[in-house]
Structure 1
Amino acid sequence: MQTQQAGMSLRWLLTASFINNVAYGFIWPLTSIYLHDQLYQTLVVIGWVMMANAIGQAVGSLVSGRLFDRFEPRKLMQFGTLMMIVINLLFIFFHGWPSYAVILTLAGFFGGWNTATINSYGTYVRSHDGRFVFNMLYFISNFGMVFATAAVGPIYNFGITWLFWLALVMYLVLMAIVQFTFKIKVERTQQTEQKQTLRLPKWNVRLIYTGVIGLGVLWISYSQWQGNLSIYMSSILKLPVWQYSMLWTINGILIAIIQLGMNALNLSANRKSMFIQIYAGLIMFGLAFMILPFAKTFTGFAIAMVVTTIGEATAFPMIPALVNELSPIELKGRYQGMTAAAPSVGRAVGPLIGGAVIEQSGYGTMFYGGAGVVFIAFIGVAIMIMTGYRHATQYE
């Protein structure tokens, strides 16, 4: 069992999350374009590479989440950061084919490791409500990722090696922050029997897995933006790469406005608002995919991105917050690891499924199919929450 004597500083946790996501954002956003245009790989091969990266993230998240409940959290974060430093050094010298794909898989594993550890630290912030903490974690992590994604377009023109150098510098900064600020005091007592017999109420388990599966489905659709859509815009519609990068700038600005607005209105303290955000997020993701078949210019993609971002900013942070409320302190690392793994699973199968559908039936089929899958997920999630939440045990 873990009992915390001093809570984690939200300020330093958010700083670490921002730097971690900026660093990782220099590595993967242009993976599809780099593999397609520079290493001359097909969409199916690109899908397999991104799947390997995402599976690495999922496994890393699950392993880190399990270890968080058993070992000193700071050492886990230090180890993950050190490995990302080593990985970026490898990227600098070995970024041809197939070494790039192999190293990218390792980067996925330790990227997932760090993300799950940071999310698990979020359960130990005592100065704010859990929903506020995960709102802010999601906002700051996405702000860091979007900041990096908006920058990689111009930097990429000078060579991909510069992106790896920048990521290396950011991970060195992250290591220093972890060393000096991630010093929460945790006591552990060996209660093996209690660990083995600890079971969640059945509705807690059902709702947690519903949230995790719903998050994975959302990321299957979202991964199309990060993979196949970049190729669609640059290679099929012949739109410049900077326009694709600009979409993520819009994404980041809109996330900031929505998240800061929700925090200013204190919506995170309202449990009913949490459910509304989850439902609305699923619906908006589906609507965005209904817009994409008609998008042929930057304006059309920008409108679809705005709709997607509204769904993202409302639903994504609330699912880990829901899982946090439904899990006891002894198991928070395990279940936050699952919520961190769900996006990786979505990223794993999303590009592969999307690439296969596109090559067989075209982009239009992929867009409409994505909308259908999201709407089915919305129905399932809504039924489970409305049926089971009142029967579940809340731990926060």
Structure 2
Amino acid sequence: MALKWLLIASFINNFALGFIWPLTSIYLHDQLHQTLVVVGWVMLMNALGQMLGSLISGYLFDRFQPFNLIRLGVGVMALSQVAFILWHGWPAYPIILTITGLFSGWNTAAINSYGTQVHNHDGRYVFNMLYFIANFGMVFATALVGVIYNYGIVWLFLISLVMYGILLVVLQRHFNFTVQNVEVEDDQAPQASKQLPKWNARVVFSVVVGLSVLWIAYSQWQGNLSVYMSDDLHLPLWQYSMLWTINGLLIAVIQLSMNALNLAESERNMRLQIFGGIACFGLAFLFLPFVKTFWGFAIAMTITTFGEATAFPMIPALINELTPAKLKGRFQGLAAAAPAAGKAVGPLLGGMMIERFNYQTMFYSASGLVGVTLIVVMFILMTGAKYVKKY
């Protein structure tokens, strides 16, 4: 797999996806006149679809030629944009949105699994760049969505359709090759390639669960924090939007700096990035109860972004090193499903905590949950360092 074309495909995929979901809550509430409770359920179904799609795609990556799988996923996403253009009322919109959730997760897992097929670059560099380019595509699209939405939501779906059409051309020209990790018949496959060694499995599952917990915390920024800033602190909406501009710019600077300085070159540095990234999430939530102004939230977002940019890409990179060829797709699918799992339950858990207690209790609880995760992940990774088998 040529890294250049993998990154281009990832950019187009996330750019197209960025025209679908950012305004979903506003569209459902303001245009389709649904309650926030209903909006929450729709977003939950979308997140569950992403999780399921990631798991299925990763599992099938190891059993069939991936080119057919990713072409199917992108083709369904293109057809779903046609469906959105024709039917974007209630209840068609949430049904189609759930389907796009399923196949967006499918495509993300497939692209990450293709990342394991790039052999002329270090795996940590590959996954750093994949994470950077995916965020760049999403941020670029999100910056355009607000302007284009004023002309009608159909234009968003039309642009997304064009991008998926371009992606299909890229796939046909640069992804149509035989991947050598396709499983043969069971009686011919070596048993060692079908299951992970004990400590490899412990490390992989611990970081996957850890990634889900981080996304439970991170999803508070994407939902409950906007309500807190606007309703409780009476800060203007543009200040909340500006936080995500800061997030996108910082991710670009951090990722490119890390790659330029080869900071993930050693195994020790990779572990430190995971530990430090998790710690940043916990630290940001410890800081939030005392924040009342935009600049305070900007500092907290900066701390969170350092955690995001260091820990998130290193987890699939670590999983890549600990899984044999015949299992790489399955476990990359698991890693791609972890964020969706966090996004599915995070807003619900945060909302329950806020309703029963208050925002401050939610902040402290999130910090405590991340702190426990850090201790567990550190213990398992440090203990298993001398037992795991590298691939």
**1:163 to 2:138 alignment:** no
**Structure 1 pair 245/132, CA: closer, same or farther in 2 (3 Å)?**
same
Moved more, 94-103 or 214-223: 94-103
Q: Which residue, out of 342, 347, 372, partners 2:343? A: 347
1:107 deviation in Å?
0.9
Task: Tell me, in whole angstroms, the C-alpha distance in 2 between the residues paired with 1:95 and 1:239.
Answer: 32
Structure 2 counterpart of 1:374, from 365, 370, 379: 370
Distance in 2, Cα, partners of 1:81 & 1:259: 27
Match of 1:193 in 2: 187
- Provide the residue aligned with 1:204 in structure 2: 200
Unaligned runs of 5+ in 2: none
In the TM superposition, residue 363 of structure 1 has moved relative to its aligned partner by 2.6
C-alpha distance in structure 1 between counterparts of 2:227 and 2:179, whole Å: 47
- 1:146 is the counterpart of 2:139: yes
Which residue of structure 1 lines up, in the alignment, with residue 273 of structure 2? Answer: 277
Q: Is the CA contact (8 Å cut-off) linking 1:207 and 1:385 kept in structure 2?
A: yes
CA contact (8 A) 1:33 1:230 kept: no
Deviation at 1:121, TM superposition (A): 0.2
Does residue 315 of structure 2 align to residue 319 of structure 1?
A: yes
Letter in 1 for 2:302: V
Q: Describe the shift of the 1:24–1:206 C-alpha distance in structure 2 as closer, same or farther (beyond 3 A).
A: same
* Cα distance in 1 for residues equivalent to 2:227 and 2:125: 36
The 3 A distance-change label for structure 1 pair 266 and 392 is: same
Within 5 A, what are the aligned runs for 1:111-190? 111-187=104-180, 190=184
Give, in whole Å, the separation in 2 of the partners of 1:315 and 1:281. 5
Contact 1:48 1:352 in 2 (8 A): no
- 1:360 deviation in Å? 2.9
Distance 2:294 2:85 in 1: 33
The alpha-carbon deviation at position 189 of structure 1 amounts to 6.6
Contact map agreement 2:285 2:367 (CA 8 A) in 1: yes
Contact 1:153 1:242 in 2 (8 A): no
How far did 1:238 drift?
Answer: 4.6
Of 86-95 and 202-211, more deviation after overlay is shown by: 86-95
Deviations 1:192-241 (A, max 9, x none): 13558432110001000001000010111111222222343445545444
| CA distance in 2 between partners of 1:67 and 1:189 (Å) | 10
Deviation string 1:336-379 (CA, Å, 9 cap, x unpaired) is 01000111111111112222223333333222221111111111
Tell whether the 8 Å contact from 1:258 to 1:313 is kept in structure 2 after alignment. yes
Counterpart residue type for residue 149 of structure 1: T
Aligned with residue 304 of structure 1, among 294, 300, 303: 300
Structure 1 contact 32–231 (Cα < 8 Å) conserved: no
CA contact (8 A) 2:62 2:183 kept: no
- Cα separation, partners in 2 of 1:107 and 1:239, compared to 1, 3 Å: farther
Stretch of structure 1 that moved more, 220-229 or 50-59: 220-229
The change in CA–CA distance for 1:236 and 1:19 in structure 2 (over 3 A counts) is farther
Contact 1:147 1:252 survives alignment (8 Å): no
Q: How does 1:2-21 map to 2 (within 5 A)?
A: 8-21=1-14
1:25 aligns with 2:18: yes
Tell me what 1:5 maps to: none
Please give the residue correspondences for 1:82-97 in structure 2 after superposition, counting only pairs within 5 Å: 82-97=75-90
Q: Which amino acid aligns with 2:195?
A: R
Distance 2:102 2:323 in 1: 25
After superposition, the CA RMSD in angstroms is 1.9
The number of residues matched between the two structures is: 388
Identity of aligned residues (%): 62
1:226 aligns with 2:219: no
Q: What is the match of residue 393 of structure 1?
A: 389
Instruction: Provide the C-alpha distance between the structure 1 equivalents of 2:325 and 2:186, rounded to a whole number of angstroms.
Output: 15
Q: Report the CA distance between 1:312 and its aligned residue.
A: 0.2
Counterpart residue type for residue 241 of structure 2:
S
TM-score normalised per structure 2: 0.93
Q: Does 1:330 align with 2:323?
A: no
Cα distance change of structure 1 residues 236 and 164 upon mapping to structure 2, 3 Å threshold = farther
Q: Which residue of structure 2 aligns with residue 4 of structure 1? A: none
Q: 1:371 to 1:39 in 2, by over 3 A?
A: farther
State how far apart, in whole Å, the 2-side matches of 1:196 and 1:108 are: 35
1:92-142 Cα distance to aligned partner (Å, 9 max, x none) = 233333332222111110000000000000000011011111111111111
Query: Match of 1:365, as an amino acid?
Result: T
CA distance, structure 2, for counterparts of residue 106 and residue 293 of structure 1? 38
Give the corresponding residue for 1:364: 360
Give the Cα–Cα distance (whole angstroms) in 1 for the partners of residues 90 and 214 of structure 2.
31
Corresponding letter in the other structure for 1:148: A
Report if the CA contact (8 A) 1:65-1:333 is conserved. yes
Could you tell me how far apart the structure 1 residues matched to 2:347 and 2:290 are? 21
